[in-house]
Chain A
Amino acid sequence: MMALRLLPLSLSLWALAASAADYSAWKHHVPDADRKRTSPYAGQSDAIAAGSRLFSDHCAKCHGGDALGSRRRPSLRAAEVQRATDGEIFWLLRNGDLRHGMPSWSPMPEPSRWQIIAYIKSLGEVPAETPQPGSIN
């Protein structure tokens, strides 16, 4: 009887844990060599401005103009993204996460992808108010 009462709680905790694990799961797949890559444009104001335009054209439709995401699309200002290395985000843009709806941006030239990363990193971290159900995915 006690086990039955604890079942919903167990399931909730499991779902929460699974969700949290899923959210940053992509990072575990990034090879070390890619993780260590550094942006040639980090912190450059021109690159950030160019990245802002590219973000508006290609990313804002899903992640929002403020990059805060939505119920089904993750915030790019969450800690998982803002604390990721430039190389990790670059790897994600190249490969996407097709299973979870994030397309590959490999057709976009590499310099443009680095410009988007410079812009995203310039936005800064905004803590999520509620757990993110999607993955970045």
Chain B
Amino acid sequence: MILRSGVALAILMGILAVLCGAQEPPYFVTYSHSLEEPGNLEIASKGAAGSPQYANSFISQTLELEYGATAWWTTEVYLAGQHTSNDSTIFTGYRWENRFRPLLREHFINPVLYVEYEHLTRADKGLLEVTGHDSIADFQLTNAQARSALEQSLELKLILSSNTHGWNISENFIAEKDLHEPEPWEFGYAIGVSRPLALAARAQSCVFCRENFSGGLELYGGLGTTDGFGLKATSHYLGPIIGFNVPKGPTITFSPNIGLNDNSISVLYRFTVSYEVQQVFGFLHRGGR
């Protein structure tokens, strides 16, 4: 029964990924200060696949619904699931996040405040962030073992981001706390740099021209806990990113992430397909037109 519902979920997420396109910044873990435009709904399917040492290979799918509530507030819901080979396909939980821009003007460094509630089992393999002492050992549990441990946690991020000369440079500082277990705060970081391959648009419409591609680099990992802050027994990943924005269609993003130490998965493949539904509640906004 569980397997059937898990497979159904995976199929649904896959179908959504195919049907929906997207316009997205190229990062997988790092956030910039770019928020969703007011009234727009972005639907994204985020995937991660890896073969951890001494554990079964897996593929995770996270369905993301991101809505621009105002020009300074974006809210998102995530539904997460994963399939582990020689094991099962399961739904692992949900997240609800909110991002706020406290400063209403553009500055050289632009802060964004991020608040997220997570209701996930330990079987979640979405890797939307790495915190504390997250490591390869977490992947060695079977789905049956891991899904019995539910984590309800609060995650806070300070997002700092700059746009200059076509480049985006973003730094995220992450703090996460389990709300029900007496566990310490866990910390993490994510840093991203990206740039479109062309800064000016061409006069003629085109699909495979440079302006529709962006490239970048992302580095992220854990920083320990309040009981042991630092890099000891943490995992870290570094990867190049390539994003392709299909004109009036989806945005497709891909990145091979390289694990930087023995606690990390050696190679993690990330892919996202996203599509922006413009002015989803437009009938409320368009007025007389």
Interface residues, chain A, CB within 8 Å of chain B? 45-47, 49-51, 53-54, 57, 61-62, 64, 70-73, 94-104, 106-107, 109-112, 115
The answer for the CA separation of A62 and B288 in the assembled complex, in Å, is 13
User: Within 8 Å CB of B288, what residues of A?
Assistant: 70-71
**Residue among B34, B70, B204, B247 making CB contact with A101, cutoff 8 Å:** B70
A111 surroundings in chain B (CB, below 8 A):
199-201
Given the contacts A72-B285, A72-B287, A101-B71, A94 and B106 also touching, CB distance less than 8 Å? yes
A103 — which chain B residues lie within 8 A by C-beta? 35, 37-38, 68, 71
Asked if B168 CB lies within 8 Å of chain A CBs, one says yes
B72 contact set on A, CB distance < 8 A: 98-99
For B25, the chain A residues whose CB sits under 8 A away are 107
Given contacts A98-B70, A104-B106, contact A109 B196 (CB under 8 A): yes
Q: What is the distance, in angstroms, from B34's C-beta to the closest C-beta of chain A?
A: 5
Instruction: Say what secondary structure dominates the interface of chain B.
Output: loop
Q: A95-B105, A98-B101 are in contact. Are A109 and B35 (CB under 8 A)?
A: no
A62 CA to B278 CA in the complex, in Å?
A: 9
Q: Assess the B201–A50 pair: CB atoms within 8 A.
A: yes
Q: Which residue of A lies closest to B201 (CB)?
A: A50
Given contacts A98-B70, A103-B35, contact A110 B166 (CB under 8 A): yes
Cβ-defined contact, B279 with A112, below 8 A: no
Q: Compute how far the CA of A98 lies from the CA of B33 in the bound complex, rounded to whole angstroms.
A: 13
- Docked Cα-Cα span, A101 to B168, in Å, equals 23
Shortest Cβ distance from residue A111 to the other chain B in the assembled complex, whole angstroms: 4
Q: Is the CB of A64 within 8 A of B289?
A: yes
A110 to B165, CA, bound (A): 7
Residue B202 is within 8 A (CB to CB) of chain A in the complex: yes
A105 to chain B: closest CB distance in Å? 9
Say whether B104 faces chain A, with CB atoms less than 8 Å apart.
yes
Specify which of A49, A64, A99, A106 lies most central, judged by the most chain B CB atoms within 10 Å of its CB. A106
Determine which of A51, A57, A109 lies in contact with B199 in the assembled complex, contact meaning CB atoms within 8 Å. A109
Q: Verify A70–B201 contact, CB threshold 8 A.
A: no
Q: B residues engaging A (CB < 8 A)? A: 25, 32, 34-35, 37-40, 68, 70-72, 101, 104-106, 163, 165-166, 168, 196, 199-205, 211, 247-248, 278-279, 282, 285-289
State the Cβ distance, A2 to closest chain B Cβ, in Å.
36
Q: A53 near B205 (CB under 8 angstroms)?
A: yes
Asked if A109 contacts B200 (CB within 8 A), the reply is yes
Q: B35, B201, B278, B282: which contacts A54 (Cβ < 8 A)?
A: B201
| Contact between A112 and B200, CB atoms less than 8 A apart | yes
Residue from B39, B71, B72, B278 having most chain A Cβ neighbours under 10 A: B71
Give the distance to chain B from A49, nearest Cβ to Cβ, in Å.
4
15 CB contacts below 8 A, A to B, read A45-B203, A49-B203, A61-B282, A70-B288, A71-B286, A98-B70, A98-B101, A101-B38, A103-B35, A103-B38, A106-B34, A106-B106, A109-B199, A110-B165, A110-B166
Minimum CB–CB distance for B204 against chain A, Å? 8
**Inter-chain contacts of A102 with B (CB < 8 A):** 71
Of chain A, the residue at the smallest CB distance from B248 is A57
Contact B71 A96 (CB under 8 A): yes
- Checking A45, A51, A73, A107 against B163 with a beta-carbon cut-off of 8 angstroms, the contacting residue is A107
Bound: A95/B203 CA distance, A: 26
Q: Please name all residues of chain A whose beta carbon is closer than 8 Å to the beta carbon of B163 when the two chains form the complex.
A: 106-107
- Shortest Cβ distance from B170 into chain A, in angstroms? 11
Q: Report the minimum CB–CB distance from A107 to chain B (whole Å).
A: 5
Cα of A99 to Cα of B71 in the assembled complex, Å: 7
Smallest Cβ distance from B162 to chain A, in angstroms?
9
